[in-house]
Amino acid sequence: MLKELRHPGIPVIYDIEEDEEHSYLVEEYLQGDSLNSLVSRQGPLTRCTVLRYVIQLCGVVYYLHSAGTEPILHLDLQPKNLLVCHENLKLIDFGQAERLSKANRSRQRFGTVGFAAPELYSCEKRLDERTDIYAIGALLFYLATGEYPSSDTSPAMLGLKMWSREAGRILAACLEPEKNSRYTSVDRLIEDLEKLQQPVSSQLVAVYGNEPGVGTTHISLGLCAYLWKMGIPNLYEERHPCTKLHSLQKSQGRAADAYGIFRFSGCALKPFFGRQARFLDHHYPVVIQDRGLWKGRENRETGEDKPDTVLLVVGGKWWNHSPDKDFFSLWLDRGCLIYNFSDKKIWVKRPDGVGPIRALRAPLFSNPFQPEGEAQTWLKLLWESVNGQKGGEDVIKSSQKAGSDNGRHFGGGKWMRCYPFFHFTGKLPGCSRTGKDGAFGVESQR
């Protein structure tokens, strides 16, 4: 039966061998973590992650229920039998799986406590597709809460622990003790789950440093970790010769898989292996590419490497280089400046000849893999900026300084403070007054 199945969520069976004592199954090698391991390590998963995994599972189960002239029932859907391989769910262990008629003729039944439907506890009750639907509901509850559903608690009460009333209704409709009260088919369940899902658009984010040592890797990893925390699968990829990820990989004893990727602190990381290295294609919807130093117009990529958004990390001190003019001419429509190692009290020179462009000041956060507090708020703002969402756009603080010490050092010109979010524009929106020395909306600086 298994050799005939072909689905992305089911391991490929290459061959079955038998001798006098044993049977041997030759199947696809899988690299990943079980859902049991993920929840044990991380606790309850985010809403986005839970829905993504459960909808994938429903797709696999729907395929089994539709395969051939008679449905295949898995009968042991539980966290240890589901592997996450680069955000693709794989269903394993078909030891209990049977065609519908054969499953009902069997005089022995097995299951996993907490995930087995009530009818599996009696050989007198008939099994059908709704038996697997019960287990899907139990998995939905487990991933969302980190707990096994209790048979002593009504489905309606269990539903109160979900994120919303509609999610609770869906859960209860899966976990009803009586089969006739559950969803009648998996495709109906998929339709309802998809209504709760917030789609994630595909994004390629390229991150450059304006000069060495401005924190390009730190900012990139911070964004990667924040997105994983929000349940958005993504890949951090080194795209320039660098030893940072290789050093991390070696120190933690992690090995790259067939995709060239290893995981650390919940993040998917791909070191730079050289231009000639070839790996299996991944399917992460969001890719954050650390591309090293900005080198002007030679950084303009075409085809598949053309990014949706370009971030340029700039040093926030007065001695750091100003952003290259080519950056603004090439990426004005989807570029963003990030001033790092700066402070609200520090004035930096506005780049000459700049039209409207987004800019942010990065707060100090020591561990990019665990952004918290102000860092998490700022990374949320950065992600909204990447997606073109309105966020903090009215927070503008700028100043024109003439004749001050800093102004003379840079030969005069326009200056501004690095507040969390501001735009470089021809005029200063939202400015209601002009102070001394031409300071707009802020106290005069001398």
Q: What percent of the chain has pLDDT over 90?
A: 27
pLDDT for 19:
83
Tokens of 281: 């294609």
At 329, phi and psi to the nearest 5? -75, -30
DSSP 46: P
pLDDT for 444:
28
- The CA-atom distances, in angstroms, between 353 and each of 27, 56, 323, 326, 400 are 61, 50, 11, 11, 15
Q: Which residues does 184 contact at the CB level (< 8 Å), separation at least 6?
A: 129, 130
pLDDT for 335:
82
pLDDT for 419:
45
pLDDT for 82:
92
| Cβ 425 vs Cβ 358: under 8 Å | no
Please tell me the distance from the alpha carbon of residue 71 to that of residue 126, in angstroms, as a whole number: 14
Give the tens place of pLDDT for each residue, 182-232: 999 999 999 999 888 776 668 899 999 988 988 999 999 999 999 988 888
pLDDT for 405:
32
pLDDT for 356:
64
Residues 356-360: contacts with CB under 8 Å, at least 24 apart? 356/332, 356/423, 356/424, 356/425, 356/426, 357/328, 357/332, 357/423, 357/424, 358/385, 358/421, 358/423, 359/418, 359/421, 359/422, 359/423, 359/424, 360/336, 360/385, 360/420, 360/421, 360/422
pLDDT for 358:
75
Q: Which residues does 145 contact at the CB level (< 8 Å), separation at least 6?
A: 44, 161
Tokens of 361: 């000041």
Positions of the chain with pLDDT lower than 50, given as ranges: 302-303, 390-446
